[in-house]
């Protein structure tokens, strides 16, 4: 038997984990991302809340498990933030494309974006989760009064890229190497994150 | 009886027009945008092809009628192109937001983007149509070897904005005045259309 990194894995662990993921899936669908709590999912799965933390860490780890995404998206945010303000746009573009180009997480995310536009609960999920846990956290570190709008603008560029490159497979974008796409997107994201706000409006 | 701008409108015109739109809807769904021809739709509707040109002008006008969008999207492209290269990004951003903020065309387009991500035929439609008829035509006037990729990058920024602002209604983007959003997007689109390609790639 493969041993867990903290304790020996018990025979019932896989089934317990599956029960929790199933309960979480139901809660995210019914209550949205914000309305789902670790305690509520634990109760629905009939297990102790400590077990959820043991298996998934935090709520975003639980969400990643439900979405079958191997990397916790808040770790993407941590990596982008850790490198500092310089080159933040480039790192965000590169990390984002990496996750979507991945043969495991990519298809899971395509399913997520399809659901997000056709079902309201998924729409709330993706809006709250991607917006808050990834872009919101990055923008918050920059200490700008309009951080939320800046996060939205980055989100628009990135979600649109995902839509065209991975869902609609628009050419030549779909087959352009990730490093070329990242080099185009990086300065856009950098301006949205750290550039001066437009000093005039387009009339 | 309201008279048509070219000939007196005949009593059968409304029904004939509806028959053509129904036949076109079927053809776009089954064959995609590229696979649909005016001649094929005319045959399916049991009318002469000249009647399609009389009612709808070109294929993109027929598509706009099927999508129930009041303005032919190729006219948006014409307007953006007509003003010349300077400020093209600003004009594209402004015109795009205008069409989506419109109480008639906006909801029709939200329906289109929802369908585009969940059904393959709609996905092909939106990719071929928005890509070719609007952004492709704009980028083609700029005579760059990478015009198609530039059009895709603009499309990614604009479709992502539509997704977040109008479909997912992410705040604060959804309630930010259009002129502020256009002022943020304009320089991005201008760089994608006319800026130098990145001289290095992000590793």
Contact across the interface for A113 and B116, Cβ inside 8 Å: no
Any alpha helices (H) in chain B, and if so which ranges?
A: 13-31, 38-45, 49-56, 59-66, 73-82, 88-101, 105-118, 120-128, 137-140, 147-162, 178-194
- For A160, the closest of B148, B161, B169 (CB atoms) is B161
Residues in B closer than 8 angstroms to A114, CB to CB, are 117-118
B73-89 pLDDT, tens digit per residue, is: 677 888 889 989 999 99
Residues in B closer than 8 angstroms to A131, CB to CB, are 170
Pick the CATH number of A73-194 from 1.20.120.350, 3.40.718.10, 1.10.357.10, 3.40.50.150: 1.10.357.10
Residues in A closer than 8 angstroms to B149, CB to CB, are 172-173, 176, 184
Handedness of CA B167, B169, B175, B179 (dihedral sign): negative
B17-67 pLDDT, tens digit per residue, is: 889 999 998 888 777 777 889 999 999 999 999 999 999 888 888 887 887
Handedness of CA B168, B172, B177, B180 (dihedral sign): negative
Residue B184 token pair: 């943020």
Residues B157 and A160 sit within 8 Å (Cβ to Cβ): yes
CA angle B125–B165–B122, rounded 5-degree value: 15
Give the closest-approach CA distance of B49 to chain A in angstroms.
31
ipTM: 0.75
Chain B residue with Cα closest to A98: B203
Tell me how far CA of residue A63 lies from CA of A26, A129, A165, B98, B110, in angstroms. 11, 9, 24, 36, 27
B92-148 pLDDT, tens digit per residue, is: 999 999 888 888 777 777 776 666 665 555 666 667 777 777 888 888 888 888 999
Query: What's the pLDDT band for A69 if we cut at 50, 70, 90?
Result: low
Identify the CA nearest to B151 among candidates B88, B95, B84, B86. B88
Residues B79 and B95 sit within 8 Å (Cβ to Cβ): yes
The dotted CATH code for B13-66 is 1.10.10.60
Give the closest-approach CA distance of A46 to chain B in angstroms.
33
How far apart are the C-alpha atoms of A131 and B200, rounded to whole Å? Answer: 29
pTM of full prediction above 0.80: no
Annotated domain spans of chain B: 13-66, 73-194
How far apart are the C-alpha atoms of A32 and A126, rounded to whole Å? Answer: 9
Residues B152 and A183 sit within 8 Å (Cβ to Cβ): no
């Amino acid at each position: 038997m493969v041993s867990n990194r903290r304790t020996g894995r018990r025979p019932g662990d896989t089934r317990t984990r599956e029960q929790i993921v199933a309960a979480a899936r139901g809660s995210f669908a019914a209550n949205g991302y914000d309305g789902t709590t670790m305690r509520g999912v634990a109760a629905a799965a009939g297990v102790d809340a400590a077990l959820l933390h043991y298996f998934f860490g935090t709520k975003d780890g639980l969400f990643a498990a439900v979405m079958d995404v191997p990397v916790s998206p808040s770790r993407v945010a941590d990596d982008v933030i850790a490198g500092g303000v310089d080159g933040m746009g480039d790192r965000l573009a590169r990390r984002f494309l990496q996750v979507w180009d991945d043969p495991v997480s990519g298809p899971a995310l395509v399913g997520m974006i399809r659901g997000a536009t056709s079902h309201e609960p998924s729409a709330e999920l993706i809006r709250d989760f991607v917006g808050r846990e990834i872009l919101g956290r990055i923008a918050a570190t920059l200490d700008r009064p309009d951080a939320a709008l800046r996060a939205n603008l980055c989100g628009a560029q990135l979600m649109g890229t995902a839509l065209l490159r991975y869902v609609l497979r628009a050419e030549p974008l779909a087959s352009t190497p990730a490093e070329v796409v990242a080099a185009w997107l990086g300065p856009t994201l950098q301006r949205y994150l750290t550039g001066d706000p437009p000093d005039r409006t387009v009339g």
